[in-house]
Amino acid sequence: MKPTNIQDPEYFHKVVDCQLACPAHTPVPEYIRLIAAERYTEAYMVNWESNVFPGILGRTCDRPCEPACRRGRLEGEEEPVAICRLKRVAADNKGAVKHLMPQGPFAANGKKIALIGGGPASLTVARDLAPLGYELHLYDEWNKGGGMMRTQIPAFRLPETVLDEEVNYILDLGIHTHFNTYVSSMRDMLAKDYDAIFVGTGAPKGRDLQLPGREAADANIHIGIEWLAGVAFEHITAVGKKVIVLGGGNTAMDCCRTSRRLGGTSVQVVVRSPFEDMKASPWEIQDAKREDIPILNNMPPKEFVVENGRLKGVVFGKVRAEYDENGKRSLLPTGEPDVFIEADDVIIAIGQDNSFPWIERDLGLALGKWDLPVVDKKTFQSTLPQVFFGGDAAFGPENVITAVAHGHQAAISIDLFCQGDDILNDRPGPTTNLISQKMGIHEWIYDSGVTNDDRYAVPHEGKEKALSNRKVEVELGFDTQLGFKEAQRCLNCDVQTVFNTSRCIECDACVDICPTSCITFTTNGEEEDLRQRLNAPATNLSQDLYVSDVLPTMRVMIKDEDVCLHCGLCAERCPTAAWDMQKFLYQVTKAGHTCSNLVE
Amino acid sequence: MSYLRPSFRHPLLPKNELGFTRADYEGAISTLCAGCGHDSISGAIVQACFEMALEPHRVAKLSGIGCSSKTPTYYLSHSHGFNTVHGRMPSVATGAYLANRELIYLGVSGDGDTASIGMGQFVHAIRRNLNIVYIVMNNGCYGLTKGQHSATADAGSKTKDGGLNPFEAIDLVGLALELGATFVGRSFSGDKTQLVPLIQAAMTHPGFAFIDVLSPCVTFNNKPDSTKSYDYVRAHIEATATIDFVPEKKEILVDYAEGDAREVKLHDGSMIHLRKLAPNWDPRSRTSAMNRLHDAKSRGEILTGLLYIDQDSQDLHELEQTVARPLNSLQEADLCPGSGVLAGINAKFR
């Protein structure tokens, strides 16, 4: 193998699994260390810079970082660090932050941008562009900003105060808001004097289910996301005693739990496929079950039963899943008799689609498969050069953190576009920094010890109180002490083991001390062969091997990054400091830090 | 400084025949200087015991005083251990071995503990062919007392503060050969591929198995003008042969070119494969070993590897014709065989 090029910023970025997995690449270990140091304000700002909504995401994020967490790969039943809920600790305990954010008014640069939709993607674009002097006009059909974070996430998961606070940090940057304004024509928008338009309108159309009885029972059949929005804006305040929620995603979980708070005493979720195929996050399924909501699987609905003009219930078939050799699923009837379940209300939460009835088809803005706009994956530019898309509106339903990541990239594109730069080739690379953590002969700046603690559970509000009012937040969050303990479980994967070949005397001290047998000195070879003959087999192909230059004995140092604990013992036991622990900070560069700006 | 090692191990650590991983043979975290050669030797001992699938409770580790003699804490934490008075490890080991011949005795000592204060004990343990693996972690200086020359420092060596050593070195390997040791080897802490099979072979040898391991003192004696530094040893090392240890019952899968290799059968049926043999050397001939040793020394080379093995070694118990079982397993009936036996013995003297 060739020596590893650690000058490539992506090499060490890959070692920080959580940060790599985060769509916005938030420097996770960096803020977790700040939480452990009780520096909540700084921890909050590290988050705010990167993901814009720390308090919101600390409660509601889909947490792609957690399955990636190295801790989950350690031996035994080790679980990932509770990264998401630690973010909330920073948000809950922070001090004043507003003075740390960009301070307006900003000198105008003469460019005007329209943001259609007031959700996380548009708000991110607004935050990145406002300090650069852009005049930003945000349009939303509701009376407040936040988009799906307000309409689709129930208040018992995300209190309105938290949402308002973080949305307002952005609106206070001098954004011109046009609330209660539904944009009904792209042609009209294009005719206005905007230099660029960003579309962040989400995936606003909930799927319906056309079955016998659908029309007749319409009064008691609701579409999940519309129903949730109705509840959020208090147009809907009650639901029947018996409720059936159809669907197995997070929206279904939110619907059933909301129903329990609006008068539903017998609420059931019915999924047409097996449990394993449910799209909802495991923790949201667990929270629903904790509120006495049974989930029935392998039961596709067949008919809405109507009696005397009123919904009586739903008939379900029974199926089992079979998978062909390509993993494609088919649901086959088991032959068991159909099941009838009584219901006063049915909520359909089986997915949502993009919908652009307001974009005229003769504008040169191409819409492709499934009516999704044709958007460049890197620049977020549509086929109309001045129109950009982001969030669910761009590539279909994802999640808040993905929308934020899109927002950052779209903001870069819009800035480059407005400044007359090339939006693809002038994009800035990441900002990286690598700093030795050596503090003394055997001391490190970071806390290098590895705790054995199991993942801590977030305390919940008592069930009775939680179900009495839809605005009572269920999760209470870690207090500072629990937060500290959970923060200590972080392995500090951003503190890199950096190897200096010329200093190594091949004493083997690092090999002998490494708790997880990551380091091997051996003759070089092809990767496939090397992975088999290391001190412990390196079977996780998604994790790189760190290969040194050739040493005096003609061997090379090979480190398998897979289960390195970043405990620093290799560097501590190294007599010549050939190993050093160096903190790698990787930050996605934001709009305004482009080459042409720096030259000025 | 870390005083604890994280308890997580690699999830796919290989297991030996007993179902143990390498981690089951480890000890506490080392308190020696970073980069100390002794730690590598500890690592080699762990590796050797793991590969041989030794039951940890069947091993007794003994040591004297010194940096070297601290190391038993850093390996085999589930084995028996005895840390003796300075230089007195061989006599305690002799007592232990006489009491229980069923354990594997692993003695570690340093150049001070063996070549100075413990020299009298060392030579007699060889003479009695005590069944023990005797490893000397040899760094040519007294690291624990700030790096003065030891008796194995080569003449002309300098201490870290510039003091010149005017005295000739004691060559422990030459001494052991001369005194009739039945297994003699030398190795280097920085070469585990050689050291691990050498330790394994020594552990199966019935008798005094001596391994002199050059083990650089990174703090006091890893200087360019030291003959016991990593660089010097690497530059002057000359191996008798490449060693493979093949345990009993393990199929031999590798075929070596004839004339280039030799197999030496060990007492328990295990084998040592010696490849790339040095010319004019027969590991079974003491004279040949001594000649090779002197030859290498005169050329300024350090001869390593297995130097000599006596396949017909008879250890202390055999020489003394003592009881075959451990003393603690002898019951009253064994110890007091009755008046009839006594009468028989008495009758012999009439």
Q: Which helix (H) or strand (E) holds B187?
A: strand B183-188
**Residue A330 forms part of a structural domain:** yes
Q: What is the pLDDT of residue B82?
A: 97
B162-184, pLDDT tens digit by residue?
889 999 999 999 999 999 999 99
Same domain, yes or no, for A134 and A257?
no
Lookup: tokens for A398: 């994802």
Q: Is the dihedral of CA A47, A51, A56, A59 positive or negative?
A: negative
- In the predicted model, is pLDDT for residue A309 greater than 50? yes
B101-155, pLDDT tens digit by residue?
999 999 999 999 999 999 999 999 999 999 999 999 999 999 999 999 999 999 9
Q: Which among A506, A537, A575 has CB closest to B33?
A: A575
Same domain, yes or no, for A370 and A383?
yes
Buried b (16+ CB within 10 A) or exposed e, A81-106: bbbbbbbbbbbbbbeebeeebeeeeb
Residue with tokens 């091949």: A506
B218 vs A contacts (CB less than 8 Å): 507, 575
Asked if B29 reaches chain A (Cβ–Cβ under 8 Å), the answer is: yes
* End-to-end Cα separation, chain A, in angstroms: 43
A115-130, pLDDT tens digit by residue?
999 999 999 999 999 9
DSSP label at residue B15: B
Q: What is the CATH number of the domain that holds A267?
A: 3.50.50.60
A541-550, pLDDT tens digit by residue?
999 999 999 9
Q: What is the pLDDT of residue B317?
A: 93
**Spatial distance between the Cα atoms of A567 and B142, rounded to a whole number of angstroms:** 31
B91-101, pLDDT tens digit by residue?
999 999 999 99
- Across the interface, whether the CB atoms of B39 and A515 are under 8 A apart is answered no
Nearest CA in chain A to B189: A507
**Residue A532 forms part of a structural domain:** no
Q: Which helix (H) or strand (E) holds A266?
A: strand A266-270
Same domain, yes or no, for A376 and A328?
no
Domains and CATH numbers, chain B: 22-320 (3.40.50.970)
Same domain, yes or no, for A345 and A253?
yes
**Residue A243 forms part of a structural domain:** yes
The mean of the pLDDT values for chain B is 90
- Across the interface, whether the CB atoms of A442 and B218 are under 8 A apart is answered no
Buried b (16+ CB within 10 A) or exposed e, B109-125: bbbbbbbbbbbebbbeb
Mutate to test the interface with A, among B4, B5, B7, B8 (most CBs of A within 10 A): B8
For residue A500, the distance in angstroms to the closest alpha carbon of chain B comes to: 15
Q: What is the pLDDT of residue B61?
A: 97
Asked if B39 reaches chain A (Cβ–Cβ under 8 Å), the answer is: yes
- Across the interface, whether the CB atoms of A513 and B10 are under 8 A apart is answered no
Task: Assign B276 a pLDDT band (cuts: 50, 70, 90).
Answer: low
Same domain, yes or no, for A274 and A298?
yes
Please provide residue A19's backbone torsions phi and psi, each rounded to the nearest 5 degrees.
-65, -40
Task: Assign B330 a pLDDT band (cuts: 50, 70, 90).
Answer: very high
Lookup: tokens for A74: 């350690």
Same domain, yes or no, for A175 and A238?
no
In chain B, % of residues over pLDDT 90: 72
Taking CA atoms, B335 is separated from B322, B324, B346, in Å, by: 13, 13, 17
For residue B8, the distance in angstroms to the closest alpha carbon of chain A comes to: 7
3-state SS assignment for residue A57: helix
**Spatial distance between the Cα atoms of A323 and A404, rounded to a whole number of angstroms:** 36
A352-398, pLDDT tens digit by residue?
988 899 999 999 999 988 889 999 999 999 999 999 999 999 999 99
Task: Assign A494 a pLDDT band (cuts: 50, 70, 90).
Answer: very high
- In the predicted model, is pLDDT for residue A599 greater than 50? no
Is the separation of the CB atoms in B63 and B89 below 8 Å? yes
**Spatial distance between the Cα atoms of A557 and A521, rounded to a whole number of angstroms:** 5
Q: The whole model's pTM is what?
A: 0.89
Q: Which among A515, A539, A576 has CB closest to B8?
A: A515
Tally of CB atoms within 10 A around B176: 27
Same domain, yes or no, for A218 and A274?
yes
- In the predicted model, is pLDDT for residue A579 greater than 70? yes
- Across the interface, whether the CB atoms of B43 and A511 are under 8 A apart is answered yes
Same domain, yes or no, for A292 and A188?
no
B15-41, pLDDT tens digit by residue?
999 999 999 999 999 999 999 999 999
Amino acid at A310: R
**Spatial distance between the Cα atoms of A386 and A377, rounded to a whole number of angstroms:** 16
- In the predicted model, is pLDDT for residue B58 greater than 60? yes
- In the predicted model, is pLDDT for residue B252 greater than 60? no
Is the separation of the CB atoms in A407 and A125 below 8 Å? yes
**Residue A157 forms part of a structural domain:** yes
**Spatial distance between the Cα atoms of B34 and A509, rounded to a whole number of angstroms:** 7
- What are the residues whose beta carbons fall under 8 Å from the beta carbon of B340, sequence distance 6 or more? none
Q: Which helix (H) or strand (E) holds A184?
A: none
The mean of the pLDDT values for chain A is 94
Nearest CA in chain B to A518: B10
Lowest mean pLDDT among A124-138, A174-188, A439-453, A547-561: A439-453
Q: What average pLDDT score do residues B74-79 get?
A: 96
- In the predicted model, is pLDDT for residue B256 greater than 50? no
Q: Could you tell me what percentage of chain A is helix, strand and coil, using 3-state DSSP and rounding each to the nearest 5?
A: 35, 20, 50
Q: What average pLDDT score do residues A51-60 get?
A: 97
A75 vs B contacts (CB less than 8 Å): 8-11
**Residue A193 forms part of a structural domain:** yes
CA B187, chain centre distance (Å): 10
Nearest CA in chain A to B31: A573
Residues in chain B: 350
Asked if B224 reaches chain A (Cβ–Cβ under 8 Å), the answer is: no
Is the separation of the CB atoms in A545 and A531 below 8 Å? yes
Query: How many structural domains compose chain A?
Result: 2
- In the predicted model, is pLDDT for residue B57 greater than 60? yes
For residue B117, the distance in angstroms to the closest alpha carbon of chain A comes to: 28
The domain boundary, picked from A352, A370, A404, lies at A352
Strands lying side by side in the sheet with A295-296:
A221-223, A345-348, A242-246, A266-270, A295-296
The domain boundary, picked from A352, A379, A405, lies at A352
**Spatial distance between the Cα atoms of B350 and B342, rounded to a whole number of angstroms:** 13
Same domain, yes or no, for A346 and A233?
yes
Is the separation of the CB atoms in B333 and B318 below 8 Å? no
Domain extent for A298: 207-352
A536 vs B contacts (CB less than 8 Å): 10, 12-14
**Residue A374 forms part of a structural domain:** yes
A580 vs B contacts (CB less than 8 Å): none
Q: What is the pLDDT of residue B172?
A: 97
Nearest CA in chain A to B43: A512
**Spatial distance between the Cα atoms of A330 and A277, rounded to a whole number of angstroms:** 12
Quote the crossing angle between the two packed helices B172-179 and B119-127, to the nearest 10°. 40
**Residue A316 forms part of a structural domain:** yes
Asked if B3 reaches chain A (Cβ–Cβ under 8 Å), the answer is: no
- In the predicted model, is pLDDT for residue A596 greater than 60? no
**Residue A490 forms part of a structural domain:** no
A541 vs B contacts (CB less than 8 Å): none
Same domain, yes or no, for A228 and A134?
no
3-state SS assignment for residue A445: coil
Q: What average pLDDT score do residues B182-188 get?
A: 95
Q: What is the pLDDT of residue B261?
A: 66
The domain boundary, picked from A389, A418, A447, lies at A418
- In the predicted model, is pLDDT for residue B263 greater than 70? yes
Same domain, yes or no, for A234 and A313?
yes
Q: What average pLDDT score do residues B35-59 get?
A: 95
Is the separation of the CB atoms in B138 and B109 below 8 Å? no
Nearest to B140 by CA among B223, B45, B34, B42: B223
Mutate to test the interface with B, among A437, A443, A495, A505 (most CBs of B within 10 A): A505
Task: Assign B254 a pLDDT band (cuts: 50, 70, 90).
Answer: very low
Same domain, yes or no, for A272 and A261?
yes
